[in-house]
């Protein structure tokens, strides 16, 4: 058995009984047991129930109609509620919270036969781009343990990159799937807002949050997406659209190239994406330059909107019905205050205060409403571009994985990590982050962005690229990185 293996191969191996689902789960559990101490990508590993589920998958595999992911291991980001297994959001506030229900994404993947290995580390309440805000400690990049994996789905990206799971769920609010995928050299998709149910996915910013898959390849991302997506009557913002179907591989796309976006980009990263651009051309796709307006203002607008939503989404953590409650308090307000002050980390507090500020009397118009107006301009800019092109090719992150604790100058420097991913989030568009090269032995990714609900095209473009390249097939050597 080998750690890096695609869903289709796993499926045929399991069906051919080359190994059982229990053996497969045990293989990954062993690998987690061996390397997680160093990588720290799992917060919770539930060996017992994992093996039970794998045994159940084996029984199903023995029948003629086993579901599509039957027996295939998966890791859930620790903001998807899982009944019976703690869901922490990497926060002291929920350190021992056991959700009384399964998130729709968890239920659907489980119904599809996927076997959950455990819950992956993340930035606290998904607020961060380096996985350094987790109360369970930073996740280390499998390519270089001194470096961050990106965030907030840092544990998800690192667990796939480290070969601890073939599939992982993540969530993306301003780049939280795409940026860690880029920094860890894996493939991840932020679906169109509304494609994947948010029910049971602990909210950061409700109008931006979107669950999505991470895996070794675009085709595996598609395999997982089709089991995560679909209308959910329990989420008002869930769209009623049909399952993602891939386009034919003879399909040629007009791919937009937002030239100005590359101006300030690291030359080496720009060079990688430039090579990719030529490869697309070589495959018969057409490249056309497009303009995307208001990118800088988009980052600001994103922080206003996401913090505003977060500030009230996190008001429910009051120590009354679940989660952390302070040991002793003199009265109700003291209980609230101590509970929340103890339960939330600094970055979460910063965002709550920022959000509260922008919603306050006297500031609402200048910040919150202004940001919503910019949001419209940003979205309309994309919609305008998509009148001319089918897809847009863009950077994911301005740097490769940076060193742990290297961003010290304050929050703004960290926020700018998401310069290329945030506009897409504001516009609610689907975007695939996929590896396109290495800079100084660290992987770097690029984004393929499409119009609303065009995941089929975005993934087809990604699969076509990966059919011609092997960036996604390169993996870190844990034997070396974790033992040195």
List the interface residues with other proteins, window 176-205 (CB under 8 A): 192-194, 198-203, 205
Rounded CA-CA distance 395/41 in Å is: 25
Judged by CB under 8 A, the residue of 428, 443, 456, 461 near other proteins is 428
Of 20, 66, 77, 306, the active-site residue reads: 77
Residue 452 interacting with other proteins (CB under 8 A): yes
Q: How far is the CB of 189 from other proteins (least distance, A)?
A: 16
Taking the least distance from each CB to other proteins, the nearer of 59 and 373 is 373
Instruction: Give the DSSP letter string of 190-249.
Output: EPPTTTB--TTB--S-TTT-EEEEEESSHHHHHHHHHHHBS--TT-TT----PPP-PPPT
Q: How far is the CB of 301 from other proteins (least distance, A)?
A: 6
Taking the least distance from each CB to other proteins, the nearer of 60 and 370 is 370
Residue 46 interacting with other proteins (CB under 8 A): no
Sign of CA dihedral 472, 474, 479, 483: negative
Contacts of 179 (CB under 8 A, 6+ apart): 129, 150, 151, 396, 397, 417, 418, 421, 433
Judged by CB under 8 A, the residue of 379, 381, 421, 445 near other proteins is 379
Cα dihedral 234/235/236/238 (nearest 10): -120
Q: How far is the CB of 376 from other proteins (least distance, A)?
A: 4
Q: How far is the CB of 167 from other proteins (least distance, A)?
A: 21
Residue 152 interacting with other proteins (CB under 8 A): no
3-state helix, strand, coil in the chain (%, to 5): 45, 15, 40
Residue 280 interacting with other proteins (CB under 8 A): no
Residues 395-424 that bind other proteins (CB under 8 A): 410-412, 415
Residue 338 interacting with other proteins (CB under 8 A): yes
Residues 234-273 that bind other proteins (CB under 8 A): 234-237, 239
Q: How far is the CB of 422 from other proteins (least distance, A)?
A: 12
Q: How far is the CB of 181 from other proteins (least distance, A)?
A: 21
406 catalytic residue (yes or no):
no
Could you tell me the two tokens for 219? 């085709």
Residue 84 interacting with other proteins (CB under 8 A): no
Could you give the residue ranges of the DSSP H alpha helices within 81-185? 104-111, 154-161, 178-184
Helix (H, G, I), strand (E, B) or coil at 482: coil
Residue 384 interacting with other proteins (CB under 8 A): no
The residue assigned the tokens 């090719």 is 393
| Residue 296 Rama label (left phi>0; alpha psi -120 to 50; beta) | alpha
Of 20, 91, 130, 152, the active-site residue reads: 152
What does the radius of gyration of the chain's CA atoms come to, in whole angstroms?
A: 21
Residue 386 interacting with other proteins (CB under 8 A): no
Query: For other proteins, which stretch binds (CB under 8 A), given 167-175, 177-185, 290-298, 384-392?
Result: 290-298
129 catalytic residue (yes or no):
no
Q: For the chain, what is the largest distance between any 2 Cα atoms, rounded to a whole number of angstroms?
A: 71
Residues 103-142 that bind other proteins (CB under 8 A): 103
Taking the least distance from each CB to other proteins, the nearer of 290 and 348 is 348
Taking the least distance from each CB to other proteins, the nearer of 2 and 321 is 321
176 catalytic residue (yes or no):
yes
Could you tell me the two tokens for 161? 């990159």
Of 129, 130, 176, 217, the active-site residue reads: 176
Contacts of 48 (CB under 8 A, 6+ apart): none
Active site residues: 77, 152, 176
């Amino acid at each position: 058995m080998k750690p890096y293996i695609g869903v289709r191969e796993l499926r045929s191996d399991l069906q051919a009984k080359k190994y059982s689902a229990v053996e497969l789960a045990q293989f990954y559990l062993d690998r987690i047991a061996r390397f997680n101490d160093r990588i720290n990508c799992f917060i919770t590993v539930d060996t017992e129930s994992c093996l039970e589920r794998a045994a159940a998958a084996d029984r199903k595999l023995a029948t003629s109609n086993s579901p599509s992911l039957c027996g295939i291991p998966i890791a859930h980001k620790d903001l998807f509620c899982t009944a019976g297994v703690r869901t922490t959001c990497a926060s002291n506030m929920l350190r021992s919270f056991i959700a009384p229900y399964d998130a729709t994404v968890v239920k659907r993947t489980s119904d599809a036969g996927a076997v959950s290995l455990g819950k992956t580390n993340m930035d606290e309440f998904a607020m961060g781009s380096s996985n350094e805000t987790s109360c369970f400690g930073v996740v280390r990049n499998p390519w270089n343990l001194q470096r961050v994996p990106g965030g907030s789905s840092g544990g998800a990206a690192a667990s796939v990159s480290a070969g601890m799971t073939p599939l992982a769920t993540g969530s993306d609010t301003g780049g939280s799937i795409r940026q860690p995928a880029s920094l860890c050299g894996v493939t991840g998709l932020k679906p169109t807002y509304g494609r994947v149910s948010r029910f049971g996915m602990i909210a950061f910013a409700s109008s931006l949050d979107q669950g999505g898959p991470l895996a070794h390849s675009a085709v595996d991302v598609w395999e997982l997406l089709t089991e995560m997506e679909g209308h959910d009557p329990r989420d008002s913002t869930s769209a009623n659209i049909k399952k993602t179907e891939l386009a034919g591989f003879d399909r040629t796309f007009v791919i937009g190239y937002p030239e100005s976006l590359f101006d300030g980009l690291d030359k080496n990263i720009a060079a990688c994406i430039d090579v990719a651009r030529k490869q697309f051309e070589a495959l018969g796709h057409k490249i056309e330059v497009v303009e995307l307006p208001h990118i800088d203002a988009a980052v600001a607008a994103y922080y206003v909107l996401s913090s505003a939503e977060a500030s009230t989404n996190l008001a429910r953590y009051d120590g009354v019905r679940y989660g952390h409650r302070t040991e002793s308090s003199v009265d109700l307000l003291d209980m609230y205050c101590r509970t929340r002050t103890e339960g939330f980390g600094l970055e979460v507090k910063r965002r709550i205060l920022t959000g509260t500020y922008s919603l306050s009397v006297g500031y609402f118009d200048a910040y919150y409403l202004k940001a919503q107006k910019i949001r419209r301009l940003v979205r309309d800019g994309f919609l305008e571009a998509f009148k001319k092109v089918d897809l847009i090719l863009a950077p994911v992150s301005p740097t490769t994985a940076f060193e742990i604790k290297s961003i010290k100058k304050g929050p703004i420097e960290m926020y700018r990590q998401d310069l290329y991913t945030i506009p897409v989030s504001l516009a609610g568009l689907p975007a695939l982050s996929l590896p396109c090269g290495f800079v100084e032995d660290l992987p770097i990714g690029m984004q393929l962005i499409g119009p609303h609900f065009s995941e089929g095209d975005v993934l087809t473009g990604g699969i076509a690229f990966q059919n011609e390249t092997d960036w996604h097939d390169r993996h870190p050597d844990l034997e070396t990185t974790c033992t040195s």
